[in-house]
Structure 1
């Protein structure tokens, strides 16, 4: 089973994704958030604490931007939360925010391909992502770049999944 859970910010995506795996004996929770060497963000820390507090104690958390390797090395079910933070961290680590669009796109596509290939496994994988592009065009290049690349990431990952769940206001629509 491979499921992509998408929706807006604070729509209930993470809670729904966790619910999909709640009966599993062990789950590897992959959190590709900000690099631990960066200056701590108190808002981010509160969000992480809330997520950790919700998860069963027998789940293992792996904080890494190398989502593909984390999925491949897991012996059981995996939950990745979320592809939007993974994309941001990937672009940050490779210093690509100011690079030409085709260079950024090419390098990000290589990473997307690695993630999609890692989904070919016997154990369940649930991935959380943000749905972007439903509103105004971002005023800044970085916002447009992120929107376009996350849209491409979501399309490619969705194509590799058996199901896509859209979460809006805590309600789930299976697409």
Structure 2
């Protein structure tokens, strides 16, 4: 079972994704958040703490940008939350925000290929992502680059998933 959960910010995606794995005895929760070498982000820390509090104690949290590696190493069900933060961190780590779009796209496509290759596994995988293409056109290059790349990542991941769940205002539509 491979499920991609998408929707807007604060729509209930994470809560829904977690509910899909409640019956699993153990889950590896992959959180590709902000780069730990940067100044600590108190908002991110609060979010992560809230997520940990509502999850069963048998769930393990792994904070890493290496989603493919985390999938390869885990023998449990895996929840990845979320591909948007993974994309941001991938671009941040390689200082690519000002690089030519073709260079950034090549790096992200390779990382996405590695991730997708690890989704062929017997244990369930639920991936959370943001749906960013429904809003206004970002005013800044970095916003447009992120929107376009996340759209590509979402499309590539969705192509190998068994189900896509769209979450809007806490309601779930299985596509």
Q: CA deviation at 1:133?
A: 1.3
Q: How does 1:90-169 map to 2 (within 5 A)?
A: 90-169=90-169
Q: CA deviation at 1:71?
A: 0.6
In the aligned structure 1, how far is the partner of 2:133 from the partner of 2:161?
21
Q: CA deviation at 1:38?
A: 1.3
Structure 2: which 5+ runs fail to align? none
Q: CA deviation at 1:19?
A: 0.2
In the aligned structure 2, how far is the partner of 1:146 from the partner of 1:114?
19
Q: Which moved more, 1:78-87 or 1:38-47?
A: 38-47
Q: Describe the SS at the equivalent of 1:136.
A: coil
Q: CA deviation at 1:45?
A: 1.3
Cα deviations by residue, 1:42-89 (Å, 9 ceiling, x for unpaired): 111111111111111110111000000101110110000000000000
Q: Describe the SS at the equivalent of 1:130.
A: coil
Provide the aligned length of Structure 1 versus Structure 2.
175
Q: Which moved more, 1:46-55 or 1:2-11?
A: 46-55
Is 1:61 matched up with 2:52?
no
Q: Describe the SS at the equivalent of 1:3.
A: strand
- Which ranges of 4 or more aligned residues in structure 1 deviate by more than 3 Å? none
Q: Counterpart in 2 of 1:31?
A: 31
In the aligned structure 1, how far is the partner of 2:16 from the partner of 2:85?
18
In the aligned structure 2, how far is the partner of 1:7 from the partner of 1:157?
15
RMSD, aligned α-carbons: 0.6
In the aligned structure 2, how far is the partner of 1:46 from the partner of 1:60?
17
The normalised TM-score by structure 2 is 0.99
